[in-house]
């Protein structure tokens, strides 16, 4: 059985989770795995010279556990029961993986709020560093304009996904 895996990545607090959850509501047979669920305990997170906890680095994440969750999803998708009703098309299982460092191996309010200078001094530079690494990868990547409204971004991604899923279903019929 074919599966469809979508990665949503971008700067911390940039709307990735909001977009993923909105897509999940509108796409059939869709699951979401969020990188935020795989942070190591705070006691294992290093601090920088300014005293900021270094959450925006790969070392802050338990990537093995995240990759295991993705593998489990892929295995269960292969064994999921497919509709036998010949009038309905086979639903392709969809996995959305979202996080700030994916391609490198409701808006949230942080309590307590970030310290002054944390975003500009740490989050944004780390995002730029890892985005450059991602741009060097040859996968097909669609960049979104973060200045657009949440609804416009959702519609753009949703329409692209529906077109891609339609192509996949056509390939299944003709294969």
Each residue of 31-71: pLDDT tens digit?
A: 999 999 999 999 999 999 999 999 988 889 998 899 899 98
Name the residue among 55, 45, 168 with its Cα closest to residue 114. Answer: 55
Provide the pLDDT for residue 86: 37
Each residue of 85-119: pLDDT tens digit?
A: 432 334 789 999 999 877 765 334 455 666 777 77
Which SS3 state, helix, strand or coil, does residue 11 take?
coil
- DSSP secondary structure code for residue 103 in this structure: T
Instruction: Give the CATH number of domain 4-137+146-174.
Output: 3.40.50.300
Ordered by start, the domain boundaries in the chain are 4-137+146-174
Higher per-residue confidence, 13 vs 139: 13
Q: Report the catalytic residues.
A: 36
Place of tokens 């009703």: 85
Give the count of alpha carbons within 13 A of 104, CB side only.
Answer: 21
């Amino acid at each position: 059985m074919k599966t469809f895996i979508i990665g949503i990545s971008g700067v911390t607090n940039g709307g990735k989770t909001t977009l993923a959850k909105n897509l999940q509501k509108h796409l059939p047979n869709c699951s979401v795995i969020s990188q935020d669920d795989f942070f190591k305990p705070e006691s294992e997170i290093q601090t920088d010279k300014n005293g900021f906890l270094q959450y925006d680095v790969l070392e802050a994440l338990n990537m093995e556990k995240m990759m295991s969750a993705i593998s489990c999803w892929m295995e269960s998708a292969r064994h999921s029961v497919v509709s036998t009703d010949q009038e309905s098309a086979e639903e392709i299982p969809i996995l959305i993986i979202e996080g700030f460092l994916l391609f490198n191996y409701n808006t949230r309010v942080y309590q307590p709020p970030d310290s002054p200078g944390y975003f500009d001094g740490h989050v944004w530079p780390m995002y730029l560093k890892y985005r450059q690494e991602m741009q060097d990868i040859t996968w097909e990547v669609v960049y979104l304009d973060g200045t657009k409204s949440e609804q416009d971004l959702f519609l753009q991604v949703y329409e692209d996904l529906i077109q891609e899923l339609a192509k996949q279903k056509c390939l299944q019929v003709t294969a």
